[in-house]
Amino acid sequence: MIDYEKDSLDYHQNTPKGKIGIKLTKPLNSQEDLSLAYSPGVAGPCRKISENIDKSFQYTNRSNLVAVVSSGSAVLGLGNIGAYASKPVMEGKAMLFKKFSDIDVFDLEVDSLNVEHFISVVSSLEPTFGGINLEDIKAPDCFYIEEELRKKMSIPVFHDDQHGTAIIMAAAFLNALELTNRKITSLKVVINGAGAAAIACANILLELGLRLDQIFLCDSKGVVSTNRKDLNTYKQKFARQTSFEALKDVIEGADAFIGVSVADVLSPEMLKSMNNNPIVFALANPNPEIDPDLAKRTRSDVIIATGRSDYANQVNNVLGFPYIFRGALDVRATCINEEMKLAAVKAIADLAKDDVPDEVLSIYKDNKTFIFGKDYLIPKPVDQRVLLKVAPAVAKAAMDSGVARLKIDIDNYIESIEKLLGPLRQTIRSLRKETKKNNKKNTRPKIVITNGNNIRVLKAAKQVSKHGEVDILILGNKDKMKLSAQNVGLSNIDHLQIIDTRTVEIKEEYQKSFKENIDTTNLSELEVINRMRDENTYASLMLKLKEVDGVVSGVGIPYAQAVRPILHHIARGEKSTLAGVYILVINGKMMFFSDCTMNINPDTDKLVEIAESTIKVAKQYTKDQLRLAMLSFASFSSNSHEDCKKVSRATKILQNKKLGIEIVGEIQADAAINQQLRKEEFPDCKLTGNANILIFPDLSSANISYKLLSNIAETAVAGPILAGLKNPANVLQRWASVDEITNMIYMSAHQASKSN
């Protein structure tokens, strides 16, 4: 069992202390670097900014820097602990910004409870930051501070305790209304709590169409009514003319209860008195206004959300603030206005209706419930897709409402921020874009994928089919697929094109084509037909007969079993040697490793053909200058072993072919990718930069290298691409993930569009 007190203290005090640091974003390795970073070179950007202060976004980190600012006067669960003690919380907030949206943060703890002084301090720091996130400031001070800072500053100022909670709550609320067939204009809503978050929740519901006369607001003293004389300005807005005094009086007949208050204030009796299908958002932390299990035992028709991760429907601010600021910063918005908040609400609400990706499901044990419904109103906080939905929605709303300094193309923007989800994401997005451009009018590449009974294949096919850039044809048992889809909460798959090779009529041209490559002398007609019903064989024949543009196979079966029909039936290019090429993205750089799957110990001629096929693949996937290294355990004839000689001979043949790229070898792996080492040890080496195509001398070294790198370094891997065929037929590893299958479908479609 975790000892949170002890473990957290150790976590925070281990070296380096705290949770955040600063890293350099430009090189500082030479006198020249120092002269550019500091004096005298730094005078250049200083002069530009002095002429136009908006240039500070261009020449400094301001465009990606947010301040998390607090006085420590209202820290969740701890109260007024002061500025010093609040710093661990603010560092934690900084981590969330960086982790989820790659925004840099300085946490600023202002040791002052004087609101005017606080406002003065924060507003004076505008030259440093692109945005201000206010955090853990007591009400009603927080309202006034945010209002004044918004007036004084021309960058986004956002009190997350107010608006973050409200935005996520509102997204869940919209979906709860949809599930219960309610209209927002005909509700009775009770909000318990009248602090920053509660007031913000009430205000955002008004923006969504609720009226003041539909809301009963309660605080620690009871119903906020016009009879009371102790109300601040912000509560007065919601004061009702009523004789009701307590929560129990106003809850009867209510459609919704939103609690941002304290534990256990909503009793089972109160819940019973609510309308049919009551919506209960019990958001108090750490203990909600009513225990969710108790609520469900009391009312089977209740829809309940909390602020806790151990219950369904967690209303968690991390679904909002990182992405709202991302979108706001990227168009240099002057504020975060109501239009931007509502855009975030709708984007989050809509995302809950999409199928949940495997990377989210794998984190949770109760993944069967992750389908839009009572127990899944909003996406999970770890769902990376939120970035691609919320940030663009916020950026567009900023532009549409006139508060954006920059105008951007939203489609290009989505492509650019996708790299934050991993280096391959942006690459695949670019391939999809190019595939669409290459397609003839009203045509799309048709890719057949085998082993459709495997749920990972089914999920990938459904995902690709939804985007509409590739026509997917799945081989498998439709009844089994439907059952599998139901078991994991995958929505309707009826629109997918499915062929069951066990029952499909085997056409005469298929039989003729099969017999061209396979000796059927000793086989009966029935045996021939049965062999052709093998999904991998059938898919290969489809490609051979041009009924599809590409094949993806291999999931759930041995590599050799999947590749064998391809070798038998699909024509090769000019060269007879096939090679398995993996794309690795390391520190943002794309590299090609070959041959990782096909040839155990290739001779000189095969190495030449492997290299030529790999160059063709590389040209399809990168616009970077290509540099090829023929790898060995020795460099430039320093060893006379035959394993080195064959690589040296292959290198000379390739160089004489004048293929238009730099080719060196034989060379050791470290020298191939370390320019400084080459300068010192091999000054005559003609490689002008690090190699990005690595041809390994044998299958063992290639396969071991890519697998080690993919598991011990921050490396994204795609493949293997089967190089050397006339048409794309690619075989995945049997354990390939949904993302890997999806990527391979898009890569195969891209290959097909290029060849067409």
The catalytic site residues sit at 38, 93
Question: Exposure of 576 by Cβ count < 10 A (0-12 exposed, 13-18 middle, 19+ buried)?
Answer: exposed
Would you state the structure tokens that stand for residue 221, as one six-digit string? 């003293």
- Cα end-to-end distance, the chain, whole Å: 60
E strand intervals along 207-282: 215-219, 222-223, 256-259, 279-282
Which residues are paired to 216 by β-bridges?
Answer: 190
Q: Are 608 and 663 in contact (CB under 8 A)?
A: no
Q: Cβ contacts of residue 661 below 8 Å, gap of 6+?
A: 615, 625, 626, 627, 628, 693
Give the separation between CA 749 and CA 747, rounded to whole angstroms: 5
With a CB cutoff of 8 Å and minimum separation 6, the contacts of 584 are 590, 591, 592, 593, 706, 709, 710, 715, 716, 717
Cβ contacts of 402 within 8 Å, gap of 6 or more: none
549, 447 in Cβ contact below 8 A? yes
Cα separation of 728 and 750, whole Å? Answer: 9
List beta partners, residue 191: 217, 258
Strand order in the sheet with 65-70: 104-109, 65-70, 131-134, 157-159
- 256 forms beta bridges with 189, 279
- Which of 87, 144, 134 lies closest to 114, judged by CA? 144
Q: What is the DSSP letter of 155?
A: S
Name beta bridge partners: 471.
Answer: 446
Q: Can you read off the two tokens belonging to residue 302? A: 């209740």
Residues β-bridged to residue 580: 722
* Nearest of 371, 360, 372 to residue 485 by alpha carbon: 371
- Type of residue at 541: L
- Please answer whether residues 248 and 156 qualify as being in contact, where contact means their C-beta atoms are separated by less than 8 angstroms: no
CA atoms of 289 and 291, how far apart (whole Å): 7
Pairing of strands 627-631, 662-667: parallel
Q: How far apart are CA 302 and CA 488, in angstroms?
A: 24
CA–CA gap between residue 270 and residue 288 (Å, rounded): 15
**DSSP H stretches of helix in 518-624:** 525-532, 535-544, 559-569, 604-621
Distance CA 141, CA 161 (A): 13
- Report the candidate in 323, 319, 326, 320 with the shortest Cα–Cα distance to residue 64: 326
Runs of H (alpha helix) within 546-598: 559-569
Residue 556: partners with Cβ closer than 8 Å, 6 or more residues away: 451, 454, 457, 734
Query: Which position has the token pair 């459904």?
Result: 462
Q: How far apart are CA 632 and CA 643, in angstroms?
A: 8
d(CA 509, CA 236): 81
What SS3 class is residue 508?
Answer: helix
